[in-house]
Amino acid sequence: MQSFVAEFFRSGGPLMWVILAVLAAAAAVIVERLHFYLVVCRDDADHLATGAIRRLNGGDFKGALAQVSGRRSPAAAILGQAVSRFNAGHSLTEVRHGVEEVAIRAVPLYGRRVGYLAMLANIATLTGLLGTIFGLQKSFSSLAMVEAAEKASVLAGGISQAMNTTAFGLIVAIPCLVAYTRLSSLQSRKTEECDAAAVKLLNYLEARQDADDVETETVRSLQRAAV
């Protein structure tokens, strides 16, 4: 098996190294993105928002902040900003502005480098086709310069180079496209979850602020009536 792979790679010509470099770059992107989605963003955004709301209901403001702090995910950064500003006594408008400022920087992190996979798939495919052209040129240009007995060997070598680079390019491109589709799906799902969690927490803070305003106004009314 090893000898077959070595011969396959050797007969493919110098462009096989270019496709191999594309494969290495694609593998690095896939590993990094999987680590981001499955490790860094492993905490469900709705779970973080629900936990923060539960602690705020119990008056545990520090616990609510701790629920969404200490994590590196975009959802945690956005929810943490909302809880932090609310705990600091900012108005709901100021809380929303703070959330929007963080979201502008944090949400694009979900899609970072995913688009590279589509580009790398195209590069692998086109490099394979370029290798096909070089291989055919090598075959036909060499036929006029060799003896008749060697023509079959030269032609076979050129065709082998053409077919191997094309095959290797497709071998790299197809998994890149599959990974691109899967990671794009994860990106969309994580982004939607983050948006839904942020709206859920902001709606709760708005309802809580309205309730606090009503309670304050009721107390003042009672105080005026007592006077």
Mean pLDDT of the chain: 83
Task: Give the pLDDT band of residue 223 (cuts 50, 70, 90).
Answer: very low
Task: Say yes or no to pLDDT of 215 above 80.
Answer: no
* Section 205-209 average pLDDT: 81
Residue 141 has a pLDDT of: 67
Looking at residue 121, what is its pLDDT? 96
Residue 173 pLDDT exceeds 70: yes
- Least confident range of 11-15, 121-125, 146-150, 176-180: 146-150
161 versus 217: the higher-pLDDT residue is 161
- Per-residue pLDDT at 186 exceeds 80: yes
User: Which pLDDT band, with edges at 50, 70 and 90, does 220 fall under?
Assistant: very low
- The mean per-residue pLDDT over the stretch 166-183 comes to 94
Greatest mean pLDDT among 1-10, 60-69, 113-122, 132-141: 113-122
pTM of the model: 0.80
125 pLDDT band (50/70/90 cuts)? very high
Highest mean pLDDT among 5-14, 44-53, 181-190: 181-190
In the prediction, which pLDDT does 89 show?
83
DSSP of the chain, one letter per residue?
A: -HHHHHHHHHHT-THHHHHHHHHHHHHHHHHHHHHIIIIIT-S-HHHHHHHHHHHHHTT-HHHHHHHHSS--SHHHHHHHHHHHHHHTT--HHHHHHHHHHHHHHHGGGGGTTTHHHHHHHHHHHHHHHHHHHHHHHHHHHHHTTS-HHHHHHHHHHHHHHHHHHHHHHHHHHHHHHHHHHHHHHHHHHHHHHHHHHHHHHHHHHHHHHHHHHHHHHHHHHHHHHH-
For the segment 30-37, the average pLDDT, to the nearest whole number, is 94
For residue 20, what pLDDT band results from cuts at 50, 70 and 90? very high
Confidence label for 214 from pLDDT (cuts 50, 70 and 90): very low
User: For 82-109, what is the mean pLDDT?
Assistant: 89
